[in-house]
Amino acid sequence: MYTLQEFGGPPQRRIVYCFPTYNSLYWSSCTVHTTPLIQGTAVRSDLVPSYVPSLESQIMVLEMFLPASPVIMVIDMAIFSKNALYSETLSTMPWPDWGPQHTCCFPHHPSHRISVFGSRMAYALPRYRTPTPGHRLEALSTDGHFYVHIWDFNQRVVARSKSIPDSDHLIHQPAQLAHPCYKSAFCSDLSYVATVCHESFPTRDFGGLFLEQERFTLTWIRRSGVRHS
């Protein structure tokens, strides 16, 4: 984590967060998904987020393309809150000191598109197929259908859902995930609320999705142009 100095000064490195030991000689690529920061004039002003949640109620999703099997890591961005800025000296945080308390890990496949807004993640998945630790997530069929799953990692939302009888929201807690590229297993104490949209969508020409507050936008890329839904 870096902080920026005033008047154009160089970035100051504050904290290094360490992941579990990587048991491979091959470098893996990673895509970062966070709440979008829209600046300037947008072509579709109605698609610009009307507000950006506080850092303490946001998640960051790392889409990690590991050699043996891809995974996604959902990180509570509370670790980057102002409380972490008080130290003036560089500190290193080993995985046991921050990871299990602030991170969930799931098997993944790049065909399952992701979008993040605040504490929620939209995920393109089959209707009854939640990524299960220890199992490989297969690619979406190129000529099938998918459903949009919304996962909310805000612990206040989780607590509120637990208090509502017969709620449509399903509360999950990730189990331990052993991955061949890491010398130690991932584990987490974080629960999350999962909901599934009732309507299915075709996978053919599916381009991606964009989550914003109480709505999401899907795109399909075809020769005739880009279609929104």
Lowest mean pLDDT among 12-16, 27-31, 48-52, 214-218: 48-52
Q: What is the pLDDT of residue 33?
A: 92
- Residue 211: pLDDT above 80? yes
Tens-place pLDDT, residues 26-44: 566 889 998 876 544 444 5
Q: How big is the chain, counted in residues? A: 229
- Take residue 32 and report the two structure tokens written for it: 């970062």
C-alpha 88/C-alpha 144 separation (Å) is 53
Digit-coded pLDDT (tens) for 72-131: 889 988 888 766 666 677 889 888 888 888 888 888 888 899 999 999 999 998 877 666
**Mean predicted confidence (pLDDT) in 186-207:** 83
Q: What is the mean pLDDT of the chain?
A: 76
- Per domain, the residue ranges of the chain are 2-37+51-228
What is residue 64's predicted lDDT score, i.e. its pLDDT? 86
> Cα torsion for 28, 103, 193, 34, to the nearest 10°?
-60
Q: What is the Cα–Cα distance from 126 to 53, expressed in whole angstroms?
A: 29
pTM for the structure as a whole: 0.79
State the pLDDT confidence band at 45, using cuts at 50, 70 and 90. Answer: low
User: How would residue 9 be classed by pLDDT, with cut points 50, 70 and 90?
Assistant: confident
Secondary structure of 8-51 as H, E, C letters: CCCCEECEEECCCCECCCCCCEEEEECCCCCCCCCCCHHHCCCC
